[in-house]
């Protein structure tokens, strides 16, 4: 069942008198529970596409349809709802709030979603426990390793039980072993909890290995879509 | 997002930069403290001093006279002037009529005689003044400092004014007496004065000295007459008291009449061939029941053809001065508050730059612009609330200290503990409310700026 439909999506920006296409006529569908990787070189438009999917940016032409509703035409309230409940975002640089402990970072989306106050602590503990970080709950991001910080970010992204995880180069700042751990975590949530994962990465090999569908972008255009062979 | 969540987030943000928060809050506290102190000082001065004046006699007392006294001409020594007006004599009937006015509390003839008084081998020239017994209920005699007021209109007793004692070089020993201020005075306990005899020496005609044969008078035909009375009490009227009670000695009317003395006023009238024209009395002191009735009574007496003088007339001028004082003081306080507002704006704008990424993260997690704005509003409101409470409390403490200092310095002059600052609950509540409101207003621009942060840009910059 199609969850996301990207239809004739284009994004331009001006550089002097020239109109530059960051994305040009992008079309694809993503089904529920699918693991999709977007790969390409730097500047190919991967992160721009992910930000549009996450509702962080809405200045584009065409359409991004979530359950039939165009994200690009949503008002601020609808976009806020989308970021709270539909998608969970993971960033390369983790983007944890340095002044808040791991558990407080995980609780933050629960605050914005009006999650019952009494249950927030339990929910955050549960998420950290699942990430193997229960003993790091009261640590600040500066006291965590890169892998731990990214796992806290994943826990935070999952707090409001989103349908889609949007991961922007989640292993970009991590060593090989830790990267593998993070990828397995994402795989686990995808397979076990049927969460749709859209991951932007440089690493074509990993993308091909874990993804149901790999979209190759170059200069803002899809040049190739690879589907994983069904075993 | 619940309000409690916004408060917690705002509080967390403020706690994170605790030093800066303390400095900003201190700025607000100083501003609100100054503003509330200035307003309460203005109110205190106007309310308490007016009340003090009303409670005394200066604004409830009138002086009625037959003569038109040109007070503006005092400096030019043109004091007594009848003008073109027909003179209405001041008699006992006049006093009775004034007493019949429902607004009048009491009225009595202002009678005084020049005399020399002597106690503890010290002498001084002063006036002895007849004050009826019923004045025991009115200021300053309802607040006799030592001893008591006389109870009979013919009692052989006197009440001394503290000023007269001071002029004689006698000071009463009190608990808070500052001995350095009284170096040149004889310090005596009040108990040792009350009940003591006082000699009142007046001048009377000495018929033996009148040379009817040669008609060559070498000296005035007068001699001293000494009356001995008992000191019943000591009174000290404040600076807000009418002139007749501020100096001299006071005694019952019958006792005053008993003391022989040459009535120099009558001599003056004889010279001017005016005997009997002004009536029995020079002037009458009238007390109205309430300050608000002063004008009505004054008008009624003036309609009878008398001249009436009252400081109360000048209260409107005082009120204008108080209003001006309030305005000036509030302006000074507002300047202090404005400076602290700049502090809040600065703190919040700094916070935006520091928390740019954080705001971006919050928006990526679903926070709306409105929620971001409210976090900033609440941060400002918390600063305003704490600053307001601390400022008003500090201002109150400082004002109490200032009042104490002012009273200790001016106490002898004013003779009462005036609360110069009026910190009513209304001022306290409104100051704190104003503090919160002004802080929220100061946060509008920074909050708006914060709410407009593009999450994409904020996260990309890092």
A91 domain residue, yes or no: yes
Reply yes or no on whether the pLDDT at B55 is more than 80. no
Predicted pLDDT of residue B73: 46
Predicted pLDDT of residue A87: 92
Categorise residue B98: left if φ over 0, alpha if ψ from -120 to 50, beta otherwise. alpha
Q: Is A63 in a helix, a strand, or coil? A: strand
Residue A96: which CATH number? 3.40.50.300
Which residues does chain B have within 8 Å of residue A81's beta carbon, measured at their own beta carbons?
366
Predicted pLDDT of residue B76: 46
> What is the average per-residue pLDDT within B76-90?
56
Reply yes or no on whether the pLDDT at B378 is more than 80. yes
Count other C-beta atoms under 10 Å from residue A175's C-beta.
12
pLDDT one-digit tens code per residue, B385-443? 999 999 999 988 888 888 888 777 765 555 556 677 778 888 899 989 998 998 899 88
Check CB contact under 8 Å for B364 and A97: no
Task: Tell me how close the Cα of B460 comes to any Cα of chain A, in angstroms.
Answer: 10
Predicted pLDDT of residue B80: 47
> What is the average per-residue pLDDT within B249-267?
80
ipTM summary value: 0.91
Q: Which two three-digit tokens encode residue B316?
A: 């409107």
Taking the CA atoms of residue B73, residue B74, residue B80 and residue B82 in that order, the dihedral angle to the nearest 10 degrees is 30
Nearest residue of A to residue B360, measured between CA atoms? A95
Q: Which domain holds residue A48?
A: 35-60+72-227
Domain boundaries, chain B: 3-54+318-461, 60-309
Residue of A57, A91, A112 with shortest CB distance to B366: A112
Of residues A25, A2, A22, A11, the one with CA closest to residue A222: A25
Check CB contact under 8 Å for A112 and B364: no
Backbone phi, psi, residue A227, to 5°: -110, 140
Predicted pLDDT of residue B249: 87
Task: Tell me how close the Cα of B437 comes to any Cα of chain A, in angstroms.
Answer: 26
Reply yes or no on whether the pLDDT at A165 is more than 90. yes
Residue of A76, A108, A117 with shortest CB distance to B369: A76
How many contacts, defined by CB atoms under 8 Å, are there between A and B?
59
Residue of A51, A97, A112 with shortest CB distance to B1: A112
Backbone phi, psi, residue B153, to 5°: -75, -5
- For B165-289, strand residue ranges (E) read 170-172, 186-188, 197-205, 222-235, 249-251, 283-288
A27 domain residue, yes or no: no
User: Quick check: B392 and B431 in contact, CB under 8 A?
Assistant: yes
Categorise residue A219: left if φ over 0, alpha if ψ from -120 to 50, beta otherwise. left
A20 domain residue, yes or no: no
Q: For residue A225, give the H/E element and its range.
A: strand A221-227
Residue B180 Cα to chain centre, angstroms: 27
Task: Provide the domain count of chain A.
Answer: 1
Check CB contact under 8 Å for A112 and B367: yes
Q: Which has the minimum average pLDDT: A15-19, B180-184, B195-199, B452-456?
A: B180-184
A5 domain residue, yes or no: no
Strands B122-130 and B307-309: unpaired
Nearest residue of B to residue A160, measured between CA atoms? B365
- pTM over 0.80, yes/no: no
Predicted pLDDT of residue B418: 67
Of residues B393, B406, B455, B416, the one with CA closest to residue B32: B393
Check CB contact under 8 Å for B366 and A109: yes
C-alpha distances (whole Å) from A66 to each of A6, A29, A86 are: 9, 10, 9
Averaged pLDDT score across all residues of chain B? 80
């Amino acid at each position: 069942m199609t969850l996301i439909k990207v239809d004739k999506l284009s994004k331009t920006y001006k550089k002097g008198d020239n109109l530059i296409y960051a994305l040009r006529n992008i079309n694809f569908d993503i089904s529920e529970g699918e693991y999709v990787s977007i790969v390409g070189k730097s500047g190919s438009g991967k992160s721009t596409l992910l930000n549009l999917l996450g509702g962080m940016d809405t200045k584009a032409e065409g359409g991004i349809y979530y359950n039939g509703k165009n994200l690009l035409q949503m008002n601020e309230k609808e976009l806020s709802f989308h970021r709270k409940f539909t998608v969970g975002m993971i960033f390369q640089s983790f983007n944890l709030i340095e002044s808040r402990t791991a558990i407080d970072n995980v609780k933050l989306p629960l605050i914005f979603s009006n999650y019952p106050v009494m249950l927030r602590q339990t929910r955050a503990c549960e998420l950290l426990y699942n990430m193997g970080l229960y003993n790091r709950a009261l640590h600040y991001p500066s006291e965590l390793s890169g892998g731990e910080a990214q796992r806290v970010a994943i826990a935070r992204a999952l707090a409001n039980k989103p349908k889609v995880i949007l991961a922007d180069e989640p292993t970009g700042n991590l060593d090989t072993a830790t990267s593998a751990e993070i990828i397995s975590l994402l795989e686990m949530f995808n397979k076990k909890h049927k969460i749709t994962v859209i991951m932007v990465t440089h690493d074509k090999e990993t993308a091909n290995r874990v993804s149901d569908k790999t979209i190759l972008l170059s200069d803002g255009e899809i040049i190739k879509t690879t589907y994983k062979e069904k075993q | 997002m619940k309000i409690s969540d916004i408060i917690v987030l705002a509080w967390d943000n403020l706690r994170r930069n605790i030093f800066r928060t303390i400095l900003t809050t201190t700025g607000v506290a100083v501003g609100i403290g100054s503003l509330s102190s200035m307003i309460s000082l203005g109110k205190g001065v106007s309310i308490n001093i007016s009340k003090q004046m009303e409670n005394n006699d200066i604004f409830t007392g009138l002086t009625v006279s037959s003569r038109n006294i040109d007070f503006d001409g005092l400096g030019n020594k043109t004091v007594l002037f009848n003008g073109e007006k027909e003179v209405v004599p001041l008699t006992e009937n006049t006093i009775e009529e004034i007493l019949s006015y429902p607004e009048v509390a009491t009225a009595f003839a202002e009678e005084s005689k020049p005399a020399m008084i002597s106690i503890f081998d010290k002498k001084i020239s002063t006036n002895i003044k007849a004050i009826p017994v019923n004045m025991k209920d009115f200021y300053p005699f309802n607040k006799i400092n030592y001893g008591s007021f006389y109870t009979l209109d013919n009692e052989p007793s006197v009440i001394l004014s503290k000023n007269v004692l001071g002029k004689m070089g006698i000071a009463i020993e009190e608990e808070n007496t500052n001995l350095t201020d009284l170096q040149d005075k004889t310090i005596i306990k009040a108990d040792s004065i009350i009940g003591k005899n006082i000699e009142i020496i007046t001048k009377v005609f000495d018929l033996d000295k009148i040379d009817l044969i040669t008609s060559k008078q070498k000296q005035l035909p007068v001699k001293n007459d000494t009356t001995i009375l008992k000191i019943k009490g000591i009174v000290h009227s404040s600076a807000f008291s009418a002139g007749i009670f501020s100096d001299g000695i006071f005694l019952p009317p019958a006792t005053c009449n008993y003391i022989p003395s040459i009535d120099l006023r009558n001599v003056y009238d004889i010279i001017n061939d005016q005997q009997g024209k002004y009536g029995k009395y020079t002037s009458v002191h009238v007390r109205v029941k309430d300050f608000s009735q002063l004008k009505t009574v004054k008008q009624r007496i003036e309609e009878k053809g008398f001249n009436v003088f009252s400081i109360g007339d000048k209260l409107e001028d005082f009120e204008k001065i108080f209003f001006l004082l309030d305005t000036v003081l509030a302006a000074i306080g507002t300047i202090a508050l404005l400076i602290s507002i700049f502090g809040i704006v600065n703190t919040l704008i700094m916070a935006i730059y520091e928390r740019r990424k954080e705001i971006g993260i919050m928006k990526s997690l679903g926070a709306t612009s409105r929620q971001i704005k409210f976090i900033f509003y609440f941060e400002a409101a918390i600063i305003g609330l704490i600053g307001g409470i601390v400022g008003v409390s500090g201002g109150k403490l400082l004002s109490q200290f200032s009042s104490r200092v002012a009273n200790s310095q001016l106490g002898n002059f004013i003779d009462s503990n005036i609360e110069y600052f009026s910190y009513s609950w209304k001022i306290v509540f409104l100051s704190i409310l104003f503090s919160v409101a002004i802080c929220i207003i100061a946060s509008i621009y920074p909050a708006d700026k914060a709410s407009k942060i593009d999450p994409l840009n904020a996260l990309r910059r890092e």
